[in-house]
Amino acid sequence: MAILVTGGAGFIGSNFVLDWLAQGFETVVNLDKLTYAGNLQNLASVAGNPAHLFVHGDFGDAALVARLLQKHQPRAVINFAAESHVDRSISGPGEFIQTNIVGTFTLLEAVRVYWGTQSEANKTAFRFLHVSTDEVYGSLAKTDAAFTETHRYEPNSPYSASKAASDHLVRAYHHTYGLPVLTTNCSNNYGPYHFPEKLIPLLIVNAQAGKPLPVYGDGQQIRDWLYVKDHCSAIRRVLEVGRVGQVYNVGGWNEKPNLDIVHTVCALLDELAPRLDGKPYTDQISFVADRPGHDQRYAIDARKIEQELGWKPAETFETGIRKTVQWYLDHPDWVANVQSGGYRDWVAQQYEKTKASA
């Protein structure tokens, strides 16, 4: 048996693949286009593992996906593949429409055809799990109740709008064709292997380099923070026992203003890797013009997944953020390769030879 993972060289996807293989589950067929955020150095520890079959390709390539499905006969498809950075979606929305909407549609079509050829037993056991975001729900006021699975979709950026569209496609394929789907909507992830354009890794990398620590506006935008390995365990649980056709919100129960995150990271760096001049890293904080249309608050109500499936996060924000900062301090080569683009050379050396056997 096998599972097909799309986007398995990205931040969340690679953490999922590593955890899955570490627990000795089925073979992973890992399909990733390797855009700027897809980094096979994330998966260096499983480069020789026969249970990890990496395929360099686009989940929007219908012929490739169909061939992989027929060859490997996966019992599940987990879709992580997405363009995910809000700022990039504002400056270049076209790629987000193509990847998140058209790509998801193409994948669903290929999976629908594959699923239709299976035996009744295999059709019943099969799952398509779509990984999405809390940003599809829009923005909350400080006193509003947290997002539940029935909250109205009100996306406010090209990124969140494209993810909302993909969620709707997944739902439609269940209701129209009977495809056994599951959807998870997660809050802000953080942890190892996070590309340093997002807030927490950017803070760590810039602080170490003596660069400004940029904070949008007044820094009072509130997010719920979820340690990536907790997110991965939630996805495994939903895949295992989630009810077909259902949506599960996955959160960390950690609502914090962005400025608090900045101060927390600075305090940990002061402790773990103090500046040579003895000054605090908070001296590097720089307030910059706010993002256009910046959502004020996201908050996840994760009671459904806890009550129905028995899942809750293992990490508090305090334990998770300490592990995260320490990981970046312990992996300067990974950081340097990401910043220089050297990881692409590593990909060519390590994985070009696997293309022919995919």
Catalytic residues: 134-135, 159
Phi, psi of 128 (to 5 degrees): -115, 110
Nearest to 79 by CA among 3, 158, 149, 191: 3
| Alpha helices (H) along the chain | 11-22, 62-72, 86-91, 93-96, 104-116, 120-125, 158-177, 199-209, 228-241, 258-272, 303-309, 317-330, 332-340, 342-351
In the sheet with 255-257, reading across from the earlier edge strand, the strands are: 188-190, 222-227, 255-257
Q: How far apart are CA 106 and CA 98, in angstroms?
A: 10
What is the rounded radius of gyration, in angstroms, for the C-alpha atoms of the chain? Answer: 20
Q: How far apart are CA 346 and CA 205, in angstroms?
A: 21
N- to C-terminal Cα distance for the chain? 16
Extract the tokens encoding 3: 């599972």
Extract the tokens encoding 312: 């809750």
Residue 319 three-state SS = helix
The Cβ of residue 99 has, within 10 Å, a number of other Cβ atoms equal to 22
Q: Look at the chain and count its residues.
A: 358
Rounded-to-10 torsion of CA 74, 79, 80, 83: 140
